[in-house]
Chains A and B, each alone.
Chain A
Amino acid sequence: MEDADPILEVDKVTRYFGGLAAVKDVSFKVRQGQIFGFMGPNGAGKTTLFSMIAGALKPSSGKIRSRGRDITGAPAFKLIKLGIARTHQIVRPFREMTVLENVQVAVHFGKQAVTGRAAARERAIEALGYAGIDQLANYPAAILSVGHQKRLEIARALATDPDLLLSDEICGGLTHAETSEMLALLRRIRDSGTTVMYVEHDVKAITSVCDRIMVLNYGRKLAEGTPDEIQNDPAVIEAYLGTRARGRS
């Protein structure tokens, strides 16, 4: 069954940096309620793709639609109002604010645009609790560990009240236990009704949590399917899993 107006529809999107095509003719659709994963070697174009969807970068060509609405090239602050939020692979907390204030910004300027200070604090604390860092609310964001800063990225993005959350390598640098907590968190987010797009290098992590996966290689789409299909795809094994396995030895 085809979804008439998927929450995200990316159509032949390309982005050049100078002569380099970081993303080339990539197309896919994300259905509501999925966790949609993205894999690919370093430099494959995953973050560039996310940045275009979230409005931080403009595509060189191609179209991006959300629920039938053309959002190609729309700035990030407008997309937030349409329910599209992202986390940053390289964390970007407001370092001179407390953890709570960081999230308050997201509540104030998110989809609901909450004005009142008390209400914003309450929602922010809720989001921190959801991300499991409410005990750090009054600490300066600058002193958090990377793991906690990744959670802060999620708390902030969630506090904007997104329908589509783009999370970029939230498990990078985390321990095994922390990773499984993160994955449980992603599932909870999906189950609460937010569609999730998820970039991760850890094959085990991504195949265990995603409903559908796309593999990028040198900016191009290499394969798309269920985790099982992806893991058994010869092209994927060769280009991604294969090189990774070799790289390790």
Chain B
Amino acid sequence: MNASSVVIAAQRVARWRSAPLPWLLLAALAALPLLSPSPNFVRLLFTTFLWVTTSMAWNLVGGFAGQVSFGFAVFYGMGAYTTALLMNTGVDPVPAFAASALSAALVSLVVGVPAFRLRGPYFAIATIGISEAVRVVMTNLSFTGGASGYRIVEHRPFHQLEHYYSALLLAALAFVISALIAHAKFGLGLQAIRQDEDAAADLGVNPYPYKLAVHALAAALTGVAGGVFARYAAFIHPAGVFGFHTSVHILLMPVIGGIGTVWGPVLGGFVFGIVEEEIVASFPQVHLLIYGSLLILIILFEPGGILGGLGKLFRRFRGRR
């Protein structure tokens, strides 16, 4: 059994399930507030939807196109600060989110334009460099309060459910985008690039603009997630939204769930979103170490993530009969 057959099996499982499942899930999550859940539970789901969104966004670049990024915090942070700054000048949330998408996409080009010209690990390395650089700049930028952070004052009453539905809508949008892309021309082109860039070029795929485009798209989604978060939190600071741990979280989720698939990052995002706070609370000093070890274990033993493992089980079960 090799890795590719596992991925294919996982894709089969995913495709087989994918018809009514997303709609049921969306309906259930949309109806959930009817059960009057505790505000704390709503908050947990709100954060989870944002994680799921960034997880799917990362997967577009890292999973479909095979371009591993350690710098998605840059987009999350850009989105957060863009929304924060605009809302404090009186801009409405939705246009502010759109501006977040735009600013994050623009930043993605700063990384992508030089790094995607090169083959090999340059992109991954560049993402680390730029994300540290941006964090340092933001830590020292006075008009956003530097390291001490930035407060958002919204002159409207706070409705938790409004935030809940914004995040759910965003996650649904990310899902639709990723599901539509997966089997369309764009997605096939990306997957061809991941699997054999030269062979892809030999069939007419121009890898460079494709990588730039998918990177910008992922950045835009991540930027909006940052914006939605900023509005909810009403306070952001560089060590949080721009922190390296944010990048690690965003990369870890799709890996946990199963990269390169539509459902894997959703699964990974939910699992992570629900246990993350517990882990940080229980292991405040070493939680990044735990994530790092988890990452290594998955890559070594189950590169297909949860979905890959399920696919294996599914086939073993079928094989028995």
The residues of A with any CB-CB pair to B shorter than 8 Å are: 54-56, 75-78, 80-81, 85-86, 88, 92-98, 101, 104-106, 108-111, 113-115, 117, 120, 140, 142-143, 156-157, 160
Contact indicator B191/A77 (Cβ below 8 Å): no
The interface residues of chain B lying within 8 Å CB-to-CB of A80 are 202-204
Report whether A160 and B195 are in contact in the complex, using a CB–CB cutoff of 8 Å: no
A–B Cβ pairs within 8 angstroms, 8 of them? A88-B199, A96-B195, A105-B200, A108-B188, A109-B200, A111-B204, A113-B204, A140-B5
**Is the C-beta of B2 less than 8 angstroms from some C-beta in chain A?**
yes
A141 to B294, CA, bound (A): 31
Query: Whole-angstrom distance between the alpha carbons of A76 and B196 in the complex?
Result: 14
Check if B184 sits within 8 Å of A92, measured CB to CB. Answer: no
Return B183 CB to nearest CB of chain A, in Å: 7
Question: What's the minimum C-beta distance from B76 to chain A, rounded to whole angstroms?
Answer: 29
Query: Which of B5, B200, B204 has the largest number of chain A CB atoms within 10 A?
Result: B204
Task: Determine the residue in chain A with the shortest Cβ distance to B198.
Answer: A56
Binding site for A on B (CB under 8 A): 2, 4-5, 7-8, 183-185, 188-189, 191-192, 195-196, 198-207, 260
Query: Which of A78, A97, A111, A117 lies in contact with B184, CB distance below 8 A?
Result: A117
Decide if B202 touches A105 in the complex (CB within 8 Å).
no
| CA of A228 to CA of B206, assembled, Å | 42
Residues of B close to A94: CB separation below 8 A: 191-192, 195-196, 199-200
Whole-angstrom distance from the CB of A41 to the nearest CB of chain B? 25
Residues from chain A with Cβ under 8 Å of B195 in the complex = 94-97
Residue in B4, B188, B204, B205 whose beta carbon sits within 8 Å of that of A142 in the complex? B4
Min CB distance, B11 to chain A, in Å?
8
- By a CB distance below 8 angstroms, the chain A residues around B191 are 94, 96-97, 101
A108 touches B4 (CB 8 A): no
A156-B4 in contact (CB<8A): no
Partner of B7, one of A88, A96, A104, A106: A96
Q: Are B196 and A92 in contact (CB under 8 A)?
A: yes
Cβ-neighbour of B188 out of A78, A88, A105, A143 (below 8 A): A105
Known contacts A108-B189, A109-B189, A117-B185, A95 near B201 by CB under 8 Å: no
